[in-house]
Amino acid sequence: MVQAKFSAATALAAITFGAYLGSAVPMLPPKASATVLAIDLTAAHMGTRRCSGGVQRWFTGLKIALVLSCFVVGERLAH
């Protein structure tokens, strides 16, 4: 039996990703990017806990790196 957990969070992450990627790379349709990410995240969460946890750690690391890069760019632009 498959349980649907975190479906709203996965959908929100996919839609946000599609919107940001679509604005950065206009030739990629946001809905297609969001759909691919939603399917990938669903597949990862349906796998083992180790796989699911690895995906979560990777995304957390990516978010931290992006926040830190925003600080660095902001600091350099301020001076």
Residue with tokens 């990410």: 37
Say how far apart CA 3 and CA 58 lie, in whole Å.
Answer: 23
What are the structural domain ranges in the chain? Answer: 1-46, 49-79
For residue 53, give both structure tokens.
């946890």
* pLDDT score recorded for residue 65: 92
Tens of pLDDT, residue by residue over 10-33, are 888 889 989 988 888 899 999 999
Contact 13, 41 (CB under 8 A): yes
Closest of 49, 59, 71 to residue 10, by C-alpha: 59
What percent of the chain is predicted at pLDDT more than 90?
25
